[in-house]
Amino acid sequence: MKQNYDLIMQNIIKNIDISKEKPTLFLHSCCAPCSSSVIEFLIDYFQITIYFYNPNITEFEEYEKRKIEHIDYIKAKNLPIKFIDGDYNVRKDFFDLVKGLEKAPEGGDRCTVCYSKRMEETSKMASSLDFEYFGTVLSISPMKNSEKINTIGKALEEKYNINFLYSDFKKKGRYLRGIELSKENDLYRQDYCGCIFSKIEMDEKRKTKLENILKENN
């Protein structure tokens, strides 16, 4: 039976006693737009530290742009949030891992490997730093498979003996709220996940769309 991960998260939050000190959450984030509405929702319940670990962003300029945008957003909103920049090794932590899956479709096996790597590093780091919870904002995207993300999280919860914040952040209008916040704060909102393979796929879709428009108007 399909799990309602948003309901599971709501039940976790319901059992948090916010009259005492908020529990610590080590939250993996891929960019400011994706994390904006997640942070807005979670900040009342957790002491949040953002972990920016994204070796899948295969162009360094793009990586730096997203990272700086994220840091600037936290500062501009005066959020009580810490930010940790993870290691960036595209060859070791991305290309070597997805070898043989280069032509897999967006959302397929290559993405699952990518989710797993980023979430494992997050849970490992969270455990070593004695955080109470770890999580990821990845489920905010309609393009991301929440079932896979939460299944990975459950396995890591058991492996590293640390609470996983189950989630399906796109629910309850949070994805649309993220778009609103991006517009309100003039955030750079990219149209691909970050890896070169998703960029190529997006470029090909644009090219096909343009060709179809030209055909229709000839």
70's tokens: 């994220």
Distance of CA 174 to the CA centre of its chain: 13
Chain segment 122-172, per-residue pLDDT in tens:
999 999 999 999 999 999 999 889 999 999 999 999 999 999 999 999 999
- Torsions phi, psi of 47, nearest 5? -90, 110
pLDDT single digits (tens) 70-106? 999 999 999 999 999 999 999 999 999 999 999 898 8
- What are the pLDDT digits (tens) for 28-42? 999 999 999 999 999
**Number of C-beta neighbours around residue 146 at 10 A:** 22
CATH of the domain at 64: 3.40.50
Of 46, 7, 44, 9, the C-alpha closest to 26 is: 46
pLDDT, mean of residues 175-188: 96
Task: Output the pTM of the full model.
Answer: 0.92
Residue type, 173: G
The predicted-structure confidence for 10-67, as pLDDT tens digits, reads as follows 999 999 887 788 999 999 999 999 999 999 999 999 999 999 999 999 999 999 999 9
Sign, CA dihedral 21-13-157-123, equals negative
The structural domain count of the chain equals 1
Range of the domain at 171: 5-216
Nearest of 114, 179, 112 to residue 140 by alpha carbon: 179
